[in-house]
Chains A and B, each alone.
Chain A
Amino acid sequence: MSVFMIFRIAFKSLGRNKLRTALTMLGMIIGVAAVITVVALGQGAQESIETQIRAAGTNLITVNAGNFNMGGVRQGQGASNTLTVEDSRAIRHEILGVQFLAPGVNTRAQVIAGNQNWQTRIQGTDVDLPLIRAWPAKYGGFFTPQDVSSAAKVAVLGGVVTETLFGEEVDPVGQIIRIRNQPFKVVGVMTKKGQAAMGEDQDDAIFVPYTTVQKKLSGQQHINNITISAQSANQVGNTADQIAMLLRSRHNLLPGDTDDFMVRTLEEMASVRSEATKTMRALLASIAGVSLVVGGIGIMNIMLVSVTERTREIGLRLAIGARGSDVLLQFLVEAVALSLVGGAFGIGLGFGVSNGLTRVLEWPTFVSPDAVAVAFGVAAATGVFFGFYPARKASGLDPIEALRYE
């Protein structure tokens, strides 16, 4: 019998009992949907990390003041005053692997432009930042070294801030905005970048010289962080280690003391982010596993019922010349057809769930042809695995007894 005929017979017999078939498929549908979502989340996370690394430059190193693991009171990163401008100068001058460097001093402030106002992050930084981030300006340009040394009141706006204060597609260069009631001249607007690896919106920020933040806005002497790029990608790890050693010696830490700063590379940050989706993926993977087993057992159960109901049919097929293997194949294909149709619906549902996760929770997902292939494979394998026992039972029937079965 041709494969086509076998599938036709299988679909016909499934079509006879539509409600039962649909209910049997439910487990498969959920299981396969979960498989699709797991793979989509994984590939989405991978994809977004890769995009971020590509966008940020693979050579990125950040140093934050303070440390999650510091003894005593737990302090947020960058909240303690362990980093200084001198530290950042030392790194720039003493460590060979450093290409660009920008000390960072952050604060939050109310910003007013005309009758619009907005609470946002004021990021005090240095002229190297656009180079480190490979981040071009949309209008105007970044502030200059002179602006930094003179602590000038100049501002470069992030995309979100510009849109909020001035509207979309408006060039605000030359306008005056007020930060903490002091006038700042807008010298540039950055292109939009989207979510950073750690989740903060990079476009919802105003960039000013770090000296300006220190002297005109917050009055703080220490700096919160240093953003650095290494000369090349393969120098990142080495350079990060040297920075840590330099800072330990500058901070007079003894062997055994915990770092009072954190040096991290982008890869490390990205892996923090993927931790979050990992939990979700583990949860979905277990849902997938359980549903597939439940779905598989459902298929096995319905196939056993079907074998019993159709004992006389099996007897007849054997009598007119079907071999045991023909009957085995027929019931196996029926189980696989059941799981594949369930799988197809599951793939549809998985698409929906993945899209929902992206839309509602903003988790990156990506349903690739690979994921669909994996899901189909899993569905088929479940069908074969759980369909085999009933099919074996059918093929092993004695034709005489099967024909007599009432």
Chain B
Amino acid sequence: MHVSTMPVIATQDLVKTYHLGEVQVRALRGVTVSLDPGEFVAVTGPSGSGKSTFMHILGCLDRPTSGKYFLEGRDVSRLSKDELAAIRNRKIGFVFQGFNLLPRTTALENVELPMLYNGGVRTAERHKRARAALEAVGLADRTAHYPNQLSGGQQQRVAIARALVSSPSIILADEPTGNLDSRTSVEVMDIFQMLNIEHSLTVILITHEHDIAEYATRIITFRDGRIVQDRPADSRRIAKRELAAMPVEESV
């Protein structure tokens, strides 16, 4: 198998069924998809269509009821909890709607967190990498700030720095702009596009907002646990351009 042609993510007929007493909830009903390294994919669809369930499986937080999931060519759909934890630590960076930063913990320490569970990263190395990640998201001057001293957009950027600090294969973002106003949303999308273009990171962005999906290179639409549409973004939005065009007085 050639590395250059190997998809970073490949799923075969993923099914996820939840059992709520007598009732069966079929959250995913056979999802087959393949993502190449360096893609910026938006997963969209109405609420309840199975986007988050799909992301949990891609993120190794959950295992499918049936079907296969290959991450960088390795079947990870039947691994043990601890093996999944190790994969989450090294290969996946999560960004959540609610930021999920630890309170009363500085931005730097929040970003260092994944490296605490990665065995041999020494303290000095940890500080260095965390600083570099915060710099990449434009927060070099906010390392000692606590989350409650940062704006929502800045908090989400700290969360992105935390996601990319251990050089993962993919960044998974579930509704990352859900708690942000429109300008801040564009700023966050700018970061994702920058990471995708300049650092060649594979980004999977889950959103139910169509205009946010437009920042991706490829848009996958879910309905009732199935992929109903998979197309390249024909008129891709570029966040940097939009920010430059925005009136200055709006910026924080």
Contacts and interface: CB of A to CB of B under 8 A. Distances in A.
Interface of A: 1, 5, 16, 312-313, 315-326, 399-400, 403
B116 interface: yes
B40 interface: no
Contacts of B100: 312, 315-316, 319, 403
Nearest to A310: B102
Contacts of A313: 102
A321 B102 contact: no
A302 B194 CA distance: 45
Contacts of A320: 88-89, 94, 113-114, 117, 162
B118 interface: yes
17 contacts: A1-B116, A5-B116, A312-B100, A317-B117, A318-B61, A319-B61, A320-B117, A320-B162, A321-B89, A321-B114, A321-B117, A321-B166, A322-B117, A324-B81, A399-B61, A400-B61, A403-B100
A319 B88 contact: yes
B86 interface: yes
Interface residues of B, number: 24
Contacts of B89: 320-322
B94 A319 contact: yes
A235 to B, nearest CB: 69
Contact of B117 (A16, A312, A323, A403): A323
B62 interface: yes
Nearest to A13: B104
B83 to A, nearest CB: 10
B198 interface: no
B118 to A, nearest CB: 7
Nearest to B55: A400
Interface string B45-65: 000000000001001011000
Given A16-B104, A313-B102, A320-B94, A400 B62 contact: yes
A318 B62 CA distance: 12
Contacts of A325: 82
Interface in B99-122: 100, 102, 104, 113-114, 116-118
A323 B85 contact: yes
Nearest to B94: A319
A400 B63 CA distance: 12
B127 interface: no
Contacts of A5: 116
A321 B104 contact: no
Nearest to B80: A323
Interface string B130-160: 0000000000000000000000000000000
B90 interface: yes
Nearest to B93: A320
Contacts of B118: 321
Nearest to A322: B117
Contacts of B166: 321
Contacts of A1: 116-117
B215 interface: no
A319 B86 CA distance: 10
B90 A321 contact: yes
B96 interface: yes
